Amino acid sequence: MAEISDVFFVDGMRTPFGRAGEKGMYWNTRADDLVVKSIIGLMERNPNVPGDRVDDVAIAATSQTGDQGLTLGRSAAILAGLPMTVPGFAIDRMCAGAMTSVTTMAGSIGMGMYDVALAGGVEHMGRHPIGANADPNPRFVAERMVDPGALNMGVTAERIHDRFPHLTKERADRYGMLSQQKAQAAYDAGKIQPDLVQVATKDNEGAWGLATEDEGRRPETTMAGLAALKTPFRPHGRVTAGTSSPLTDGATMSLLAGGAAVKELGLQPKMRLVSYAFAGVQPEIMGIGPIPSTEKALKKAGLDISDIGLFELNEAFAIQVISLLDHFGIADDDPRVNQWGGAIALGHPLAASGVRLMIQLAAQFAERPDVRYGLTAMCVGLGQGGSVIWENPHYNGKKK
């Protein structure tokens, strides 16, 4: 008989994130190969988990076409050398793709149907720009279900500024600058590198290289420099390249397991899943999506926002993060939030990002036995939000 089980985040790894486009390090690398590298790296780091014990592989991509198509979970599992007995599938919830891979696999583990699963995501935004091959139904606009601007994420970010005038451009600029500084400080302290899988790359001249770190960081960013940037989404707007996540290529992977498998295989999980939730909002202001999803996840967990000791929030745009912080009464520069920087500095390969948040939270949990609960949350295109609350297995009840 299957039994209800706890769900554990055993481990997670990712590729370094590259700048999208011809000048980016992954321009000549296939999207599915980024997934394969992540699976191989993660399985090699967890030799206690035999490949034939993986019950399923869920891989998310927003643009499921070309080298991001063909039932990614199954094709990547085969390419990564997992036994042919391991099934897999693809998933899409735009930016929350990998997060949904995790929660979908968590549901199967929690119900006792699966023991071990892989869940992750990939986005090669250089090869597959968001919406490039999409054909939105004309009814969306014709019947005024959705404003045409809702399909442009930068326009939706400008609209959050409109709705909350006290969330000024200067606040967003400062947030963007701090993200860059925190990410570089984390790199200098060697916090990010242990969870990166190195990837062989080839440039346009055919020379081979090795991707070992995130390519898009700009630690030299200053407030004066940010103030001078153009506002591409609106004349005299407030959203700039410095307060937006760059277009990015990369893949992420997590290893999940139930309580019985953790015991049987002698695993040491990095986090325990407490609750998760997704919510819908108007697509025109999709950036506020994580506010209702976080409220739902907190309610499911029987927790309050004050119980959360660490936050990993996806920085699609600075305004999106500070609107959530403002809603919950948290300062823009609260030390619990995105300690090691976020997507503004590291990049946001759409469907891959959710698991990057989890990888960073897991690493921070190990350093912080005084923290019991952490939150990973993100906004999602077409007006959604996703939130997952995690418990720290290292928690010792002692205040820092």
- 128 part of the active site: no
Residues 6+ apart with CB under 8 A from 9: 102, 254, 255, 256, 269, 270, 271, 272, 273, 358, 362, 390
| Location of structure tokens 């307060």 | 243
Q: Which residues make Cβ contacts (< 8 Å) with residue 290, sequence separation at least 6?
A: 313, 320, 324, 377, 378, 379, 385, 386, 387
Is the separation of the CB atoms in 34 and 65 below 8 Å? no
Q: Are 320 and 353 in contact (CB under 8 A)?
A: no
Query: Which residue among 95, 124, 128, 161 is the active-site one?
Result: 95
Tell me the C-alpha distance between 173 and 344, whole Å. 11
208 bridge partner residues: 202
Residues 264, 270, 275, CA angle at the centre, nearest 5°?
95
Beta-sheet pairing, 271-280 with 384-391 = antiparallel
List the structure tokens of 24.
Answer: 């980016």
Known catalytic membership, residue 348: yes
CA neighbor of 76 nearest in space, from 105, 118, 109, 35: 35
Annotated active-site residue in 124, 128, 161, 379: 379
Q: Are 115 and 5 in contact (CB under 8 A)?
A: no
> In 6-69, which ranges are continuous DSSP H helix?
31-45
Sign for the CA dihedral angle at 184, 189, 191, 195 comes to positive
Catalytic position from the list 124, 128, 161, 348: 348
Q: Is 327 a catalytic residue?
A: no
The residue count for the chain: 400
Phi, psi values for residue 165, rounded to 5°: -60, -25
Point out the residues that are catalytic. 95, 348, 379
